[in-house]
Structure 1
Amino acid sequence: MDESERRSSEEKAKREAAEGARHDKSHVPAAAVFAFCIGTLGTGLVALLVAQAKSSCFSGFFSPPRTDAWCATVNALEANDATYWIIGAFLGAIGYGAVYLYYHFVDN
C-alpha cells in the first residue's frame, strides 16, 4: 500500500507541475500582444507630443518654459527616429512584464 501511495503522489505531483507549466505558457501570447499594443500606442503618443512640442515648443495646452534649450531638446528628439522605437520598446517591456506578472501571481 505504501508503494502505491508513493507512486500515486509522484504522478499527481508530475501532473500538477505539467499543468502549471502549461498555464504559464498559455499567458505568454496574451502578454506579448498587450505589450505590442502598449508599445505602439506609447510610441504614437510620444510622436504626437513631440510634433506638438516642435510646432509651438509647448506654448499651448502643455506649458513648460519656452526656452531655447527646451526647443533644442524637442528638435533633437524629433530628428532622431530611434527615440520613438526606444520609448515604444520600453513601454512594451513594461506592459509585457505587468501582464505576465499578473497572470503568474494573481490568476494562478
Structure 2
Amino acid sequence: MTHPRHGLDEVIHAPVRFSIMATLAAADKAEFGYVRDTVEVSDSVLSKQSATLEKAGYVKVSKGYVGKRPRTWLSLTADGRRAFEAHCAALRAIAEITPARDAS
C-alpha cells in the first residue's frame, strides 16, 4: 500500500505557493494586487513565488494595461489546475487515514 503523501506536489506544498494556487483556483484570472492582498504577502514574495509556479508550468503571468496603468494578472494553467486538484486530493486522503487502535 502506498501512503497518500507520495501524491503531494513539492512545488505546490509550500504554504505561500499553496495559498496562491488556492486563490487562483477560484477564478479564471486574478490581478497581482488582489492575490498579494488575499495571500497577505509583499510584492517581492508574490513575484518570486509566482515565478516558481510559472517555471513549473502551473501559473501563467500576463501583463497589460488598464488605461495607462500597467497591470499583471495571474491565472492557473490547465496543468496547474490538475496539479492543484491532485495535491488537494492527496491532502484529503492523508487527513482521512484512520490509524490502527493497536498501533504502538
The TM-score bracket by the shorter chain reads 0.3 to 0.5
Q: Which has the larger radius of gyration?
A: 1
Q: TM-score, normalised by structure 2?
A: 0.36
Higher fraction of strand: 2
Structure ranking higher on relative contact order (CA contacts 8 Å, 6+ apart): 1
More helix by share: 1
